[in-house]
Amino acid sequence: MVNYDKLIFEISREGRIGYSLPKPFATEYTLNDVNPRHMRDETPKLPEVSELDVLRHYSNISQKNFGVETGFYPLGSCTMKYNPKINDEIAGNEAFRNIHPLQPASTVQGWMKIYDELQKALGELTGLSAFSLNPYAGAHGELAGLMIMKAYHEKRGDYKRTKVIVPDSAHGTNPASTAVCGMQVIEIKSNKHGRVDLESLKASLTDEVAGMMLTNPNTLGIFESDICEITKLVHSVGGLMYYDGANLNAILGKARPMDMGFDIMHINLHKTFSTPHGGGGPGSGPVGVIDKLVEFLPNPRIKQLDGHFYLEESLEAIGRVSMFFGNSLVWLRAYAYILTLGKENLAKIGDFATLNANYIKELLKTEYFLPITGPCMHECVFDGLIDVSTGVRTLDVAKRLLDYGMHAPTIYFPLLFHQSIMIEPTETESKQTLDHFVEVMLEIAREAKENPERLKQAPLTTPVGRIDEVFAAKKMILTYKDYLEYLTQ
């Protein structure tokens, strides 16, 4: 019996063939016509396998994968909601799929209309005047947004504004984008309620502040109830407010970032507007702005005149941020999602996402330490098990969840606590799923008291057990050759 869990190279048998290629199409060319510079010195080392070998190998490893479609996936801050199949079906339609980005605008009017309607819908949901759909992901939208912030100040000749205020609870991409944009981060503290500390904010306000980045609800799942005061303070010293829209799911259709005083934002379409994500993509991070910043949006912009769409390059723009127009099939999914749900149903997303997170929070707080009490928004954060005497840590709890067929929540983020467990159930989970998750989490708390050693060895049922995560991230083994080298070390 062949073990199909093996690497495809290990299944390989010399001379076995799994393909049959037609004769070369252009027979007038022979190998002699190929520039020797482009010729290989030796045949590439490829696995020699039958079609059935390949099929079984990949079917087997696909079954070891975990996704929203295999089980509960409460990964905090990532909004792992169900992505309706109709969106994929539409994005897979060849009328959309086969369009080339270099086609003349006159032949892609329908596409340009979708771009325009989606950016308008995002504008309506957030209150902002215009969106560019060009950035490829949330972090990329942040960078584009900060470049707009910088361009705005520089256009007014205000070159000393190089500092960006970021709360200590922020997602790591916020300070990273600030640094990539050539600006400096001023970190400010959260207060004991998990919100921005107003005194700390006031102390950091100077005429060197370009702006402030904030997500609301913040990464603790707490709504910044002082938000209007915060945006007023930053505006009062000439700074702009940047909204990290990754948590938009919590307030969608209920509250608009513009009404809170934000000037620039990005939206993670792949999170809030349902594109399968994880494993690195694909994403889309539209960047939106208020009226006075529209001229800085990235090129190209899609404009309309007498019912005809055309592309425009503006000199004031921050330039291009993507090869063409961004990840078009991700916007198409978002567009389909918005249209299928409609305004009324979009507004229910926040309700259910918030209800589900609070339900879990209330039921787990007897065993898991809740550092910030009171209602949360779409996600809740615990600081490990209450009973620390067992030595069982958040990592062990997360690993044990895998044995129960669930994805672990986000752990050790936010950095404010030492044993963070950040749970975001999303609106698409049923009460039965949430009840089952709670039951499992309480069972793990019991196991921690009764058999802590076992928990420290979890997961016990997955194809691989505990991996050295630092090693796996720092020394990637991406080819069979790397693997062989690794084995001989």
Ligand X SMILES: *Cc1c(COP(=O)(O)O)cnc(C)c1O
Q: Where do contacts with ligand X occur on this chain (CB under 6 A)?
A: 77, 137-139, 171, 173, 215, 219, 244, 246-247, 268, 283, 285
CB nearer to ligand X: pick between 327 and 390: 327
Query: Closest residue to ligand X, Cβ-based?
Result: 138
CB nearer to ligand X: pick between 144 and 402: 144
Taking alpha carbons only, the member of 87, 310, 132, 285 closest to residue 96 is 87
Taking alpha carbons only, the member of 230, 93, 231, 242 closest to residue 164 is 242
Helix (H, G, I), strand (E, B) or coil at 333: helix
The least distance separating ligand X from the CB of residue 257, rounded to whole angstroms, comes to 13
The least distance separating ligand X from the CB of residue 137, rounded to whole angstroms, comes to 4
Burial class (CB in 10 A: 0-12, 13-18, 19+), 281: middle
CB nearer to ligand X: pick between 246 and 458: 246
CB nearer to ligand X: pick between 137 and 146: 137
Please count the other Cβ atoms lying within 10 Å of the Cβ belonging to residue 100.
8
Residues 411/393, Cβ–Cβ less than 8 Å = no
Helix (H, G, I), strand (E, B) or coil at 23: coil
CB nearer to ligand X: pick between 139 and 346: 139
User: How far apart are the C-alpha atoms of 333 and 249, rounded to whole Å?
Assistant: 16
Taking alpha carbons only, the member of 123, 125, 97, 131 closest to residue 111 is 97
Helix (H, G, I), strand (E, B) or coil at 121: helix
The least distance separating ligand X from the CB of residue 358, rounded to whole angstroms, comes to 19
CB nearer to ligand X: pick between 215 and 354: 215
CA-based max dimension of the chain: 78
Residues 240/149, Cβ–Cβ less than 8 Å = yes
The least distance separating ligand X from the CB of residue 164, rounded to whole angstroms, comes to 14
User: How far apart are the C-alpha atoms of 424 and 31, rounded to whole Å?
Assistant: 58
How does DSSP classify residue 300?
P
Rg of the chain on CA atoms, in Å: 26
CB nearer to ligand X: pick between 74 and 445: 74
CB nearer to ligand X: pick between 167 and 285: 285
Alpha carbon 221 to chain centroid, angstroms: 16
Taking alpha carbons only, the member of 304, 338, 292, 306 closest to residue 152 is 292
The least distance separating ligand X from the CB of residue 368, rounded to whole angstroms, comes to 21
The least distance separating ligand X from the CB of residue 131, rounded to whole angstroms, comes to 15
Question: What's at 368, amino acid-wise?
Answer: Y
CB nearer to ligand X: pick between 396 and 424: 424
CB nearer to ligand X: pick between 246 and 401: 246
3-state secondary structure 166-229: EECCCCCHHHHHHHHCCCEEEEECECCCCCECHHHHHHHCCCCEEEEEECCCCCCCCCCCCHHH
